[in-house]
Amino acid sequence: YRCADCGIQVSPNRIKTFMYCEYFCKYFCRCCHVSNKSYIPAYIIRNLDFRTTFEVSKKAKNFLEKIFNEPLITLESLNPQLFQDQSNVFSRIKKLRFKLNNSRSYINSCRFAKDLKDRVYNEFDDFIINDQHVYSIQTLFKIKKSTLFYDILKDSVNSIVIHIKTCELCSQQGYICGFCNKNDLLYPFELEKVEKCPNCLACYHRACFRSPENCPRCLRKRNRVKSNASNSGSFNINNSAFNNQN
């Protein structure tokens, strides 16, 4: 038998001196395993088991400490059941992160939102703002520990939405629905009533939008491409005829 880390070999009658690592699920010698305690990522992701009392090897302990703050976990793809109940805290955080991700461009470019931008970026890790889906282990611990993370996130998103809708610069960057043309400014973070075209990212009323194939903005783009191609073809024909005459 060999230690899973240093490779030291022992006889079968000495195997009881080896220690089992809950993370690697392998046996280690007493030099490589000193009964350090830690969390197990799979238990957190699958079972929301946040215990930190699992015995792990030195190698596992160092690795788990390194990844603690890293945005490595696409939680919804690994455990979609957490997001099926809309009242669940993870479902509510998902909606808030969608709004935050789709409103950040407004405060990033607005000269009147400097204080608000600084507050938001000081409050959250960049991946919380810039990505809707990834989590770090540290973030999951914060969510599990109390409602503070959710409450701060909700307050920040509400402040951003209020700023955008009342700011003389940001409020002018809304969309008019290209289907009904109602005088109702739409913003990409309005999850409840807005549908974004996946191709051109234009915003429409959810009740008006049918499919990307019928998107007015995409149709205009396609028509311009066809018109330009047609005009280019006509120019080439006329140019060729002129050269033949010469």
Q: Is the distance from CB of 194 to CB of 187 less than 8 angstroms?
A: yes
Helix residue spans in 58-113 (DSSP H): 58-67, 75-78, 89-109
Between 14 and 223, whose confidence is greater?
223
Q: Is the distance from CB of 105 to CB of 133 less than 8 angstroms?
A: no
How confident is the prediction for the chain on average, in pLDDT? 90
Task: Catalogue the E-assigned strands of the chain.
Answer: 19-21, 26-28, 36-38, 54-56, 73-74, 134-135, 194-196, 203-205
- The mean per-residue pLDDT over the stretch 210-216 comes to 89
pLDDT score, position 234: 56
Instruction: Name the residue type at position 182.
Output: K
Q: Is the distance from CB of 135 to CB of 44 less than 8 angstroms?
A: no
Tally of helices (H runs) and strands (E runs) in the chain: 9, 8
Q: Is the distance from CB of 73 to CB of 136 less than 8 angstroms?
A: yes
Q: Is the distance from CB of 134 to CB of 77 less than 8 angstroms?
A: no
Residue 242: pLDDT band by 50, 70, 90 thresholds? very low
Rounded CA separation 2/164 (Å): 62
Q: Which tokens belong to 4?
A: 């899973």
pTM (predicted TM-score):
0.81
For the segment 83-94, what is each residue's pLDDT rounded down to a tens digit? 998 889 999 999
Instruction: Name the residue type at position 246.
Output: N
